[in-house]
Amino acid sequence: MWSHLWQRIAAFIEDDCGDNFEPMAIDLFQRHFELNESYRRYVKALGIAPNAIQRWQDIPAAPAGAFKEFDLSCCDVAACSHVFHSSGTTQANASKHWMDSDALSLYELSLRCGYDLALRHQAGGLPIWAMMPRPEDAPHSSLSHMLETLAAQRWFWGDWHRLADAIDAVDSPVVIFGTGFAFVSLFEAFPTRCWKLPAGSVLVNTGGFKGRTREEPRDRFYGSMRDRFGVPDKACLSEYGMSEMASQFYSGGELGQFRAPRWLRTRVIDPLTGDDAAQGSAGLLRHYDLANWNSVCAIQTQDLGISCGEGFRLLGRAPEAQVRGCSLAVEELWNRG
Amino acid sequence: MEPGVIERAASSLRDVRRDFIAAYRPTGAHDRIIHAIEDAAALWSDPDFAVRRKAQKNSGTFPMAMVQVSLDGLLPSLTTDRLRALIRTEAPDLSRSPSLVGHVIAGNTPLIGWTSVLRALLIGSASLVKAPSSGQGCWLEYLVQTLKIVAPEVAAMISVLFWRGGDERLDRALCGAVDRLAVYGNDRTVRAHEELAKGRVLGYGHRVSTAFVLKGADIRTAAKGLATDVLVYDQGGCLSPHTIFVEGDFACALEFGALLSEAMDESVFGHSAVSSSMVRASKVREARELCRFSDVDRSWEGDALRWTTIASPRIGFRISPTYGVVHVRPFVRERVFESLDIVKGKLQGAAIASRSEEDTFQFGVQLSQFGVFYTCAPGELQAPPFEWRQNGISVLRSLID
């Protein structure tokens, strides 16, 4: 019954076939309401009748935290071939994004097309290197899976000398994806060393300091990327995604604006009112992702951003409730599992 | 600020303390300090006391009504008899007291600085305090101003400096300048100072609290008291309950959840920092939304995100995002430790509502085996007396040994 919707979404992702985001988003919501028991319970608790959804903005957004506590899946999770976990937290309280074969196909299509849309002019066809664990070493990492799907040719994780030598030796442009933590670790392993990547090379920071011991101010981080690798500012990109989503955003540089592919939309929400934040004001990002086939389409994140143009400026993850008393930091306890 | 400021302040405090002890001789000096503390407490019990009136106008992060709850617990315990009893029990040999105690007060509840400094004073030590550059720092100034009125020579043994945390040069200077250091803050702050002042740090890392409503308790009274315990300091204190356990089944928890919500709705502690912060609001909102995913959990929600009660049949302590989000869960007495397992070693206090003092006492003994050192009636969690052993650390002995 739902295969036609799957095909419409896949066609929309693959090629701007003239279909509209909104009717597909509403149909996808209907699927999730019908098949995803936890989500259905949530929508009912909100007092929303499924046929009352007339606009994509009206689709109830599941808080990202729900992926930690509930199996948000349209099928029995035993039938899912893959589950992707959030990073930086213990296994017990990690978010879990379940995918069956249909969901996985749409996810892989989305990430390939998203990459093409964002980088084809700048880096189309270039070989990709990944500064992260291989999928076999991190089977629940959506990031590793993404790079495998993008056919990364070389993988580096922990052995920074090998990476440093490889960068020294490379003589044609490459795209290097890495977590923020990986880039910082490389810089710390070689505090004074600089490289000169071949012209046309691109660096993609996937974020990911969370749960690590070091945080780098953004401006310093991007300055280091530029200076250490000998690339221009425009070659330093960012990718923003989350294990709970099948699609990604890309942006250029430190102050870049993240732009979504056509099958992904974002609202900036004022958490005080639950409505859209005023134009130009910061709020929490709420994403609507047509490629989220098996879970939920709309996700309320704890990421802060400002709406601008056709995208948003990411301000970062909302920190845990600021410690202002002597209460145990909530994150510390979450991490106790 | 430069490290030299800290070093000079420390040197001056040591001189002042030496002169004070010499002037009063050891026994007289301690009598003088005890009386100064008692007199200061008496002044604060007078609503017209000038410094207190000043605090009414500027009470830092939290409104005076909230701080008053803590003052109501602290002030009556600052009497000559009780202070002498504490010395007899914990510090009979004051000749071994350190000359200078440092205090790092990092974004804590308002009166933490008071108890920390008064403990050091009580054993005859001078105090050099690193106070937060905003928020609660004013309360330390009020303490010094009060002592100046009743005993200027005692007040002179306290120096309060303000600087932002995380400046290692200044932290290092403080650690090098004092004999003992009491550090209040998150575990990272405590660890950082332990590195700098090895073996001389009393670390008061973060903790959480809980409450128990035992069978036969007057649940309406318990609900009113616990509403205060939750809402005071926006649930951000180490004595703020995150989960309230109700003895019995889920129906008992639901009944209590409804009463608690009613009490929170009627509470005088209407102030909340939630409405001023998008991050805080998002945490509360997420807690509310997550509850709706459950087929059995039930929530009650106050206006403007002020308070949220979430009742669940699930077993075990649940951490709250604070800001008035409290969990209510059933428990059975025989399995109480299982319920608390996730916060083992991190539990500060517990309010107990029961049908009798004997029942409360017995249950308190049971909790003490789990490392809970402060138990009280509902409504008194935020009002510990001076003698309470915060984080299980002895009040005076820990500063001397």
Percent of chain B with pLDDT over 90: 77
- At B327, is the secondary structure helix, strand, or coil? strand
User: How far is Cα B89 from Cα B78, in angstroms, rounded to an integer?
Assistant: 16
Per the CB < 8 A criterion, the answer to whether A111 and A247 are in contact is yes
Residue A212 has pLDDT above 50, yes or no: no
How confident is the model at residue A318, as a pLDDT?
62
What is the rounded average pLDDT of the residues B284-308?
A: 93
Which residue in the set B277, B305, B322 is minimally distant from A327, CB to CB?
A: B322
Residues of B in contact with A333 (CB under 8 A): 208, 319, 342-343, 346
Asked if A42 lies within 8 A of B292 by C-beta distance, the reply is yes
Asked if B282 lies within 8 A of A65 by C-beta distance, the reply is no
Q: Which residue has the higher pLDDT, A211 or B371?
A: B371
* Angle between helices B3-44 and B50-57 in degrees, nearest 10: 110
Per the CB < 8 A criterion, the answer to whether A231 and A239 are in contact is no
Residue A211 has pLDDT above 50, yes or no: no
Asked if A323 lies within 8 A of B233 by C-beta distance, the reply is no
Residue (of B12, B13, B6) closest to B171 by Cα position? B6
Residue A214 has pLDDT above 60, yes or no: no
Residues of B in contact with A272 (CB under 8 A): 275, 278, 281, 305
How confident is the model at residue A321, as a pLDDT?
36
Q: How many CA atoms lie within 13 A of A247 on its CB side?
A: 32
* Chain B contact present for A327, CB below 8 A: yes
Residue A326 has pLDDT above 90, yes or no: no
User: How far is Cα B293 from Cα B314, in angstroms, rounded to an integer?
Assistant: 14
Residue B184 has pLDDT above 50, yes or no: yes
Residue B270 has pLDDT above 80, yes or no: no
Residues of A in contact with B108 (CB under 8 A): 325-326
Question: Which strands form B241-247's sheet, in the order they lie side by side?
Answer: B298-301, B308-311, B325-331, B241-247, B208-213, B347-353, B374-376
Highest CATH level, class, for B3-206: alpha beta
The gap from C-alpha B166 to its chain's centroid, in whole angstroms, comes to 22
Residue A210 has pLDDT above 70, yes or no: no
Residue B237 has pLDDT above 50, yes or no: yes
User: How far is Cα B353 from Cα B222, in angstroms, rounded to an integer?
Assistant: 6
pLDDT digits (tens, 9 = 90+) for B319-376: 999 999 999 999 999 999 999 999 988 999 999 999 999 999 999 999 998 889 899 9
Q: Which of A165-169, A287-291, B93-97, B367-371 has the lowest mean pLDDT?
A: B93-97
* Chain B contact present for A304, CB below 8 A: yes
Per the CB < 8 A criterion, the answer to whether B325 and B297 are in contact is no
How confident is the model at residue A325, as a pLDDT?
40
Return residue ranges of chain B for CATH 3.40.309.10: 208-376
User: Across A256-260, B146-150, B196-200, which has the greatest mean pLDDT?
Assistant: B146-150
Which residue in the set B238, B278, B343 is minimally distant from A325, CB to CB?
A: B238
User: Across A201-210, A321-330, B370-379, which has the greatest mean pLDDT?
Assistant: B370-379
User: How far is Cα A284 from Cα A282, in angstroms, rounded to an integer?
Assistant: 7
Asked if B237 lies within 8 A of A325 by C-beta distance, the reply is yes
User: Across A239-243, A279-283, B324-328, which has the greatest mean pLDDT?
Assistant: B324-328
CATH of domain B208-376: 3.40.309.10
Residue A152 has pLDDT above 50, yes or no: yes
Q: Which residue has the higher pLDDT, B5 or A329?
A: B5
Task: Give the angle B149-B51-B83 at the CA atoms, nearest 5°.
Answer: 60
How confident is the model at residue A3, as a pLDDT?
93
Residue B44 has pLDDT above 60, yes or no: yes
Per the CB < 8 A criterion, the answer to whether A98 and A74 are in contact is no
Q: Which domain holds residue A156?
A: 112-264
Residue (of B209, B245, B248, B247) closest to B230 by Cα position? B209
Residue A254 has pLDDT above 80, yes or no: no
What is the rounded average pLDDT of the residues B262-280?
A: 81
How confident is the model at residue B92, as a pLDDT?
78
How confident is the model at residue A334, as a pLDDT?
37
Q: Identify the H or E element spanning B33.
A: helix B3-44
How confident is the model at residue A92, as a pLDDT?
60
Q: How many domains does chain A have?
A: 1
User: How far is Cα B321 from Cα B342, in angstroms, rounded to an integer?
Assistant: 16
The whole-angstrom distance between A181's CA and the closest CA on chain B is 20
Per the CB < 8 A criterion, the answer to whether B33 and B17 are in contact is no
How confident is the model at residue A217, as a pLDDT?
65
Q: How many residues does chain B have?
A: 401
Cβ contacts from A onto B, under 8 A: 130
Q: Which residue has the higher pLDDT, B166 or A128?
A: A128
Q: Share the mean pLDDT of chain A.
A: 87
Q: Which residues pair with B330 in a beta bridge?
A: B246
How confident is the model at residue A213, as a pLDDT?
39
- At A63, is the secondary structure helix, strand, or coil? strand
Which residues have a Cβ under 8 Å from the Cβ of A218 and sit 6 or more positions away? A254
Single pTM value for the model: 0.87
How confident is the model at residue A264, as a pLDDT?
96
Asked if A66 lies within 8 A of B290 by C-beta distance, the reply is yes
Return residue ranges of chain B for CATH 3.40.605.10: 3-206
- Confidence label for A327 from pLDDT (cuts 50, 70 and 90): very low
Residue A250 lies in a domain: yes
Which residue in the set A282, A300, A333 is minimally distant from B343, CB to CB?
A: A333
What is the rounded average pLDDT of the residues B55-75?
A: 94
3-state secondary structure B171-239: HHHHHHHCCEEEEECCHHHHHHHHHHCCCCEEEECCEEEEEEECCCCCHHHHHHHHHHHHHHHHHCCCC
- Confidence label for A257 from pLDDT (cuts 50, 70 and 90): confident
| CATH for A178 | 3.40.50
Q: Identify the H or E element spanning A300.
A: strand A298-308
Q: Which residues pair with B375 in a beta bridge?
A: B350
What is the rounded average pLDDT of the residues B122-134?
A: 91
What is the rounded average pLDDT of the residues B185-210?
A: 90
What is the rounded average pLDDT of the residues A22-36?
A: 97
Start-to-end Cα distance in chain A: 40
Residue A9 lies in a domain: no
User: How far is Cα A188 from Cα A200, in angstroms, rounded to an integer?
Assistant: 25
Q: Which of A76-80, A89-93, A141-145, A280-284 has the lowest mean pLDDT?
A: A89-93
User: How far is Cα B77 from Cα B389, in angstroms, rounded to an integer?
Assistant: 14
Residues of A in contact with B293 (CB under 8 A): 38-39, 41-42, 45, 62, 66, 69-70
